[in-house]
Amino acid sequence: MKSHIFLTSSIVFAAVLLASNALADDAATIFGDSSGTGVTYDNASGAFPVVTAILSQPGTVDGYTYTTWSFLAADSSGSLDIYSTLSGLSYTPTVGDAISISGTYSPYHQIPELGTITSVSLESSGNTFAAPLTYTIPQLTASTTIPQSQAGQLVTLDNVSLYTDSAATIPVSGNFATHANVTLYAKDADGNIMEIYDWASSYSTAGAFGGTPEPTGLVDITGFVSQSGTFPVEMTPFSITAVPEPTTLGLGGAGTLLALIFRLRKKV
């Protein structure tokens, strides 16, 4: 009888422990979940994920009203995009915040995302985090499957030129279109090309490029990558910096690209 009670207690304890572990996820664990799975992103080791970038926030930018937050949060195993209204949760994301957050795993175009956020807790503020990793165009476009080391991360392309698909370089004159999704191309010194997709319909940092002058010459581009269907991997820019400097182009920046090809794509 005693052994039976002990066994029953062990089973109950194991079930509780399993349930607990299922709610204590790091990025790598969440990447393995099916779309629609409810998770809590707080890192089972207790090293809470840290907000590394704000990609979009509610408010009016370039004549368009955004209602959704999008911010990246990374732990030692990877990074996720938190894409949600955060309605009623009394939390304003700030870079450097360590958080615990619960929601639904909803990857979109291979961007690992948490949506429909049900709870979020600020664990600490002012934390340090790693700078964006620098990649080459061949490294980012090697496969139509985005590796975990790049998915949901800020990545940087250095010393590239911006091109259209029909001309050698961007024309000298012109401004980025007002709140429009725009497709351009980055080309490196070896002739490798990658699509740069300014996703203004979903991200306020992309929308903020509207109406500003396009850069000329070499630039460094920092953003995040995505991939849809059979198309190659593309990058959505978060900032564009003229080489060797002098001004970073981004939310509230001083200049950016020419609007050339328009394509409507908006998250819902």
Q: Which of 6-10, 88-92, 187-191 has the lowest mean pLDDT?
A: 6-10
Taking residues 204-233, what's their average pLDDT? 90
pTM: 0.82
* Per-residue pLDDT tens over the stretch 165-211: 655 455 555 677 777 788 889 999 999 999 999 899 999 999 998 88
The pLDDT, as a whole number, for residue 25 is 92
Neighbouring-strand partners of residue 155: 133, 223
What is the four-CA torsion angle of 171, 173, 178, 179, rounded to 10 degrees? 30
Residue 252, pLDDT > 80, answer no
Share of the chain above pLDDT 70, in %: 78
The pLDDT, as a whole number, for residue 162 is 84
* Per-residue pLDDT tens over the stretch 40-55: 999 877 789 999 999 9
Give the residue with greater pLDDT, 168 vs 233: 233
- Please give the domain boundaries of the chain with CATH numbers for all domains: 24-124 (2.40.50.200), 133-249 (2.40.50)
The pLDDT, as a whole number, for residue 44 is 75
CB 41 within 8 A of CB 73: yes
Q: What is the mean pLDDT of the chain?
A: 82
The pLDDT, as a whole number, for residue 167 is 52
